[in-house]
Amino acid sequence: MKYTTILAAVATFASTVSAGVTGSAEGFAKGVTGGGSATEVYPTTNEELVSYLGDSEARVIVLDRTFDFTGTEGTTTTSGCSPWGTASSCQTAINLHNWCDNYEPNAPKVSSITYDTAGVLGIIVNSNKSLVGKGSAGVIKGKGIRMVSGAKNIIIQNIAITDINPQYVWGGDAITVDDADLVWIDHVTTARIARQHIVLGTSADNRVTISYSLIDGRSDYSATCNGHHYWGIYLDGSNDMVTLMGNYFYYLSGRMPKVQGNTLLHAVNNLFHNIEGHAFEIGSGGYVLAEGNVFQNVDTVVETPISGSLFSSPDATTNAQCKSVFGRSCQLNAFGSSGSWSGADTSIISRFSGKNIASARAPTNIESWTMKNAGAGNL
């Protein structure tokens, strides 16, 4: 198998934007520098990691070990419900903020749930930070990360975030971005998460690129009770611009991604693989341009009805209209043992005018390359 096409896509990774960081962001987060030329620091304890991420200094923080937060904040026992079924493979919902009472009043009640408290709220990452894993060693276990409340200019690269209360919905998210700008999430792996692997909240997240990352949906517990995690990526929007580029989305069943609010999404050269359920869910205010993606063994490529807007690069003639803004035609998507989709809302193209647009390639070899190279440890 030749990987010439894809290798060209990542040739930029030969350069370095800051100490510890490899390559530079494409798409909307182009220009992000994170901690810049700050001297690398190597935390050795959970407390040091939290301090480095949350202080006001520009920092390049290198992870060379696993930081396990499981049990560090004790456990919480509360009630919950089982809206998706009571089988052992089904997730249970924590009654956080009376969610069960307000949204699932008829679901079977669970009188006692004990979950790990540390997982519910992620570590704060402040502005001008680079968080980088060394080789395949950088892991945060049992707790996610949060870039919120005006944080900006942040790079998260080559780390894994794993094992956050996977049995319980509302037990925590892996990566949260809300009211942030210039965020680049690259070569990150997320696995065995309670709820959202990546969530962009309702406040504006101006420029975000998520690239070459692996969302691994394999889990013993699922809202669809089938071992395929349901809560993948949720882009809720206020004035969000998100590039999804070269990622591997594996063994999921929904929200892959869910796009709504006021979100402009460029989904390019991603692999959607073994989705037992739906991939895209496009709600009101979601503007999606999808090109050069591969859908392999995906039951439903996009959930219907679509309340937002979709340009799915349907054919070569229509795709040529991208030239007016992109300077090139948009690329066709590819499908193997999958459903299909149709979306020819060319008005979305003009929304990219004047913005940083990621490059795109034909879907040839995207599948084989992505399976080998996306995620932590594959930089």
Q: How many CA atoms lie within 13 A of 237 on its CB side?
A: 20
Tokens linked to 271 = 């692999």
What gap in Å lies between CA 294 and CA 273, rounded to an integer? 8
- Residue with structure tokens 């309670």? 194
**Catalytic residue (one of 59, 255, 351, 361):** 255
Q: In the 3-class helix/strand/coil scheme, how is the chain assigned residue by residue?
A: CCCHHHHHHCHHHHCECECCECECCCHHHCCCCCCCCCCEECCCCHHHHHHHHHCCCCEEEEECCEEECCCCCCEEEEEEECCCCCCCCECEEECHHHHHHHHCCCCCEEEEEEEEHHHCCCEECCCCEEEEECCCCCEEECCCEEEECCCEEEEEECCEEEEECCCEECCCCCEEEECEEEEEEECCEEEEECCCCEEECCCCECCEEEECCEEECECCCECCCCCEECCCEEECCCCEEEEEECCEEECECCCCCEECCCEEEEEECCEEEEEEEEEEEECCCEEEEEECCEEEEEEEEECCCCCCEEECCCCHHHHHHHHHHHCCCCCCCEEECCCCCCCECHHHHHHHCCCCCCCCCCCCCHHHHHHHHCCCCCC
Tokens linked to 204 = 């504006």
Of 139, 373, 359, nearest to 271 (Cα)?
373
Any catalytic annotation for residue 65?
no
Catalytic positions: 255
